[in-house]
Amino acid sequence: MTQLQARGLVKSYGPTPALHGITLDVAEGEIVAVTGPSGCGKSTLLHCLAGILRPDAGEVVWRDQRIDTWPEAARSRLRRTEFGVLFQFGQLVAELTAAENVALPLLLAGTGRRAARTAALTWLDRFGVAELADVRPGEMSGGQQQRCATARALVTEPRVLFADEPTGALDTLTGEQVLTQLVRLAREQRTTVVLITHEPRIAAYADREIVLRDGVIDHTGLGLDASLAGGAR
């Protein structure tokens, strides 16, 4: 089943064009990597798909519903429930512990405190950082922070996870470790993932790679092709 569709997306920032007509289908449970040179429109595409930005023209369709025309409050609710969003710097709340950070999206969605904490501990454990439950982000390494942020993005068990360079701030080995965990858990949950990356090695974890150039899709390929092009894994 198709989970998410972009139909002829066009977006400019004032005089600066970013997307020139992107059409794309993402299947349920599919992991798609969006790659391409700096400035080619990757983040803009992700933000349009996630309902953060409204395209100037074209449509974003999620499970047969056109969402780009929804009011901001409805799109924001969608991002708190059915969608998960993860950025390069995990954006954990500095004053909260890891468990409180991970529980936060559930509390915002109305889950009770005890159930939210239990789920947070489960997800921290899945990312191998259960022992950090009561630690604040300032006392964690970058990799530990990003594991917590990834746990937070998945704790609501979103249908679609949007990740913008989620391992871009980490060293190669740590980045790959976090990403393999993310991909494994996403596959277990049948979560659809749209992942932006600069690195062919990272794109190799995806089912499909979509390469943008100057705001259009240059070509698409299998993740495996990217791995071969980028050298041995």
Ligand X SMILES: Nc1ncnc2c1ncn2[C@@H]1O[C@H](COP(=O)(O)OP(=O)(O)OP(=O)(O)O)[C@@H](O)[C@H]1O
Question: In the set 5, 24, 41, 49, which binds ligand X (CB under 6 A)?
Answer: 41
Asked if 3 contacts 62 with a C-beta cutoff of 8 angstroms, the reply is: yes
115: tokens are: 């159930």
Work out whether the CA dihedral 163, 168, 169, 172 comes out positive or negative: positive
- Is 13 a binding residue for ligand X by CB under 6 A? The answer is yes
- Is 18 a binding residue for ligand X by CB under 6 A? The answer is yes
- For residues 167 and 150, what is the distance between their CA atoms, to the nearest angstrom? 10
Would you give the DSSP letter of residue 232? -
The residue type at 150:
T
The residue type at 124:
L
- For residues 205 and 194, what is the distance between their CA atoms, to the nearest angstrom? 12
Q: Which residue has the tokens 């983040």?
A: 43
Q: How far is the CB of 39 from ligand X (least distance, A)?
A: 4
Whichever of 41 and 158 has its CB closer to ligand X, that residue is: 41
User: One symbol per residue from 139 to 168: x for binding ligand X (CB under 6 A), - otherwise; what is it?
Assistant: ------------------------------
Of 40-48, 60-68, 82-90, 142-150, the window that binds ligand X (rule: CB under 6 A) is 40-48
- For residues 56 and 54, what is the distance between their CA atoms, to the nearest angstrom? 7
- Is 42 a binding residue for ligand X by CB under 6 A? The answer is yes
Query: What are the beta bridge partners of residue 163?
Result: 86, 195
- For residues 39 and 171, what is the distance between their CA atoms, to the nearest angstrom? 23
Of 34-42, 92-100, 129-137, 218-226, the window that binds ligand X (rule: CB under 6 A) is 34-42
**Number of residues binding to ligand X, judged by CB under 6 A:** 11
Q: How far is the CB of 51 from ligand X (least distance, A)?
A: 16
Asked if 195 contacts 166 with a C-beta cutoff of 8 angstroms, the reply is: yes
- Is 203 a binding residue for ligand X by CB under 6 A? The answer is no
Asked if 133 contacts 121 with a C-beta cutoff of 8 angstroms, the reply is: yes
Q: How far is the CB of 65 from ligand X (least distance, A)?
A: 24
- Is 44 a binding residue for ligand X by CB under 6 A? The answer is yes
- Is 38 a binding residue for ligand X by CB under 6 A? The answer is yes
Of 42-50, 60-68, 119-127, 132-140, the window that binds ligand X (rule: CB under 6 A) is 42-50
Of 41-49, 52-60, 77-85, 123-131, the window that binds ligand X (rule: CB under 6 A) is 41-49
- Is 43 a binding residue for ligand X by CB under 6 A? The answer is yes
User: Binding residues for ligand X, per CB under 6 A?
Assistant: 13, 16, 18, 36, 38-44
